[in-house]
Amino acid sequence: MKKLIVFLSLLLISFSGFSQSRYISETIKKIVYSRDGGVCQCCGSSESLEYDHIIPFSCGGSSTEASNIQLLCLKCNRSKSNSCYCKIHNRKVGSNCCDSQTRNASSTHSSSTSTARQCSGTTQKGARCRNMTKNASGRCHYHD
């Protein structure tokens, strides 16, 4: 009896975790593939395609909405990683949730009263920009 309770508890936990997983249903995959024309949304390649979260999963991006999934080739997806830029092609191919939170939080304060903070942009090498900014977008003049 005790083993059965433990088994059922583990089963319940696994199903509750499944809803918050990176799993993308076949239906969502078909919708995204059709919408994106079967090509990488950054470079146009049709080889080694992967389904990418536009708002990164680690930042709370959903796997259950087609509007948050896009097709990227393996190279562009690995280059994008947890940001919104493909570092290979220097193109914006997603949304960085940290940027939108910074933008929303800073829009409630005027720029004259806000304090300077580190730019949320990234360099060409993929490192975080070290410039300080008071800009409402959270980015310095190099990354606007």
Structure tokens at 22: 């990176």
pTM of the prediction?
Answer: 0.54
- Name beta bridge partners: 86: 91
Q: Which are the contacts of 121, defined by CB distance < 8 A and separation ≥ 6?
A: 128, 129, 139, 140, 142, 143
Taking the domains of the chain in order of start, what are their residue ranges?
22-82, 96-144
Share of the chain above pLDDT 90, in %: 24
* CATH class as words, domain 22-82: mainly alpha
d(CA 117, CA 138): 8
**Length reported for the chain:** 144
Per-residue pLDDT band at 31 (split at 50, 70, 90): very high
Structure tokens at 43: 């470079």
Model confidence at 75: pLDDT above 80: yes
Per-residue pLDDT band at 83 (split at 50, 70, 90): confident
